[in-house]
Amino acid sequence: MSQENPAPSEQRRTALIYSPALVQAALPAQHPLKLDRPAQVRALIESYGLLAAPGVREVAPNPATVAAARSVHATDYVETVRRLSGGQQVPEMVAQRHGFSAFGDNPPYPGMFDFQLLVSGATLTAARLVHEGTVDAAFNPAGGINHHALPDQASGFGIFNDAAIALAWLRDQGLRVAYVDIDVHQGDGVEAAFVESDEVLTISLHESTLFLFPGPQGGLAEHIGTGAGRGYAVNVPFAPYTDDATWLWAFEEIVPPLLAAFQPDIVVTQLGADGYYDDPLAHLRLTTHAYETVIARLRDLAPRWVAVGGGGYDIDATARIWALAFGAMAGVELPNKLPPGYVAAYGGKQLRDPPDAAQSADTEPAVREFAEASVRTVRRLVFPIHGLSTA
């Protein structure tokens, strides 16, 4: 099996949303987020010949409009982003109120406003292509990192919440939309955008906010939405050092039954790769096996599929995980040996981790018990709202 001819399984019409402009912004050198990650992801996808595979297309996005950003974000916040981006004077108290600080998670940077509109436009492009039926699945690897961005505040490296903007647009087309977030950090910004609504189902699987950003004010299994949205915000927290087996078990217990009950027209997934065992910003013990398994399940569960990137600070692992994701979207099984051209540029040998990669035998009993408690809580509080058995 050669890299130029990956094995087809079930061919699907698939789009990669990409342009060089999506990787041309840069945060300060010491910042953990490298905004050029999608370039390496694209290089790996192209090296496997996926961009020339039947049914696959690459689409350059147009920027989102300011009105699209305002569909999720407060007008004064959007204006603050614009002014900071252009180097205009903004009172320090105003900048800080909106989550910006030169030495924090969200430092302003030149061109930030236009770049963020382009990232949001890329996710909207994916949503439109899928909604119109042009493709069955579309992936914007530059998106998703903004899933912490709140209506009036930058947070956790997020400025304009591209996933929430796309979800709001799909909802406004009269569609039922579900959002599944597998980033190691809770998708709190997306949840906040729809926490009082039963029109969008949000599910986040993440390392518990008791141990990790954004903190225990949200993200616990008991947090299930408010008002009309009660039962439509779902959180499945895990203890540090959760491994593949426990994470996959919890996914199967919660996500398939809820998606089956909700019956979405389109599923939007955030594919953060920072639950990887060697990621420097978190503590889960996941390998490419867990990601490949869940991504294949999402492909089967989603009637139509929009995917965005997310966290991932071991960039080599993130590129491999997202290439596996795009292969699954396209219905193509990628060979395990990395293509020579990619290896020459970026290094590495294998696409998938060896079985013993995480060097963890069995999950500690307390870790498994934590996941079981999360699952029990979600089933007890959320499942009856959707007509599902708690057993």
* CATH number of the domain within which 119 lies: 3.40.800.20
DSSP tag of 19: -
Q: Print burial letters for 170-196: b (CB count within 10 Å at least 16), e (below 16).
A: bbeeebbbbbbbbbbbbbbbbbbbbbe
> Are 136 and 305 within 8 A, CB to CB?
yes
pLDDT of residue 391: 84
4 occurs within a structural domain: no
State CA 219 to chain mean position distance: 16
- Give a yes or no: residue 391 inside a domain: no
Beta bridge partners of 148: none
- Listed as ranges, residues in the chain with pLDDT below 70 are 1-10, 359-363
Please, what is the angle between helix 162-172 and helix 112-132, to 10°? 40
Domain count, the chain: 1
Residue 190: both structure tokens together: 């997306």
Active-site annotation, residues: 148
What pLDDT score does 363 carry? 64
Q: Look at residue 1 and tell me if it is in a domain.
A: no
Return the pLDDT at 361: 52
Identify whether 282 is part of a domain.
yes
Q: Quote the distance between the C-alpha of residue 100 and its chain's center.
A: 22
Separation of alpha carbons 70 and 77, rounded Å: 9
SS3 for 234? strand
207 is a domain residue: yes
Q: Return the structure tokens found at 65.
A: 């409009």
74 in a domain, yes or no?
yes
Give dist(CA 210, CA 264) in Å, integer. Answer: 31
Domain limits for position 127: 12-386
Residues 40, 322: Cα–Cα separation, whole Å: 10
3-state secondary structure of 159: coil
Cβ-defined contacts of 349-355 (< 8 Å, 24+): 351/288, 351/320, 351/323, 351/324, 352/288, 352/289, 352/292, 352/320, 352/324, 353/287, 353/288, 353/289, 355/289
Task: Give dist(CA 353, CA 358) in Å, integer.
Answer: 9
The predicted pLDDT at position 102 comes to: 92
Q: Flag whether 233 is in a domain.
A: yes
Question: Which residue blocks in the chain are alpha helix, DSSP H?
Answer: 37-47, 66-70, 75-85, 92-97, 112-132, 162-172, 188-194, 244-262, 288-301, 315-330, 340-346, 365-381
pTM (2 decimals)? Answer: 0.96
What's the confidence (pLDDT) of residue 360?
Answer: 58
**Token reading at 300:** 């089967």
Nearest to 206 by CA among 195, 193, 220, 217: 220
- Output phi, psi for 125, to 5 deg: -60, -45
Pairing label, strands 7-8, 332-333: antiparallel
In a domain, 178, yes or no: yes
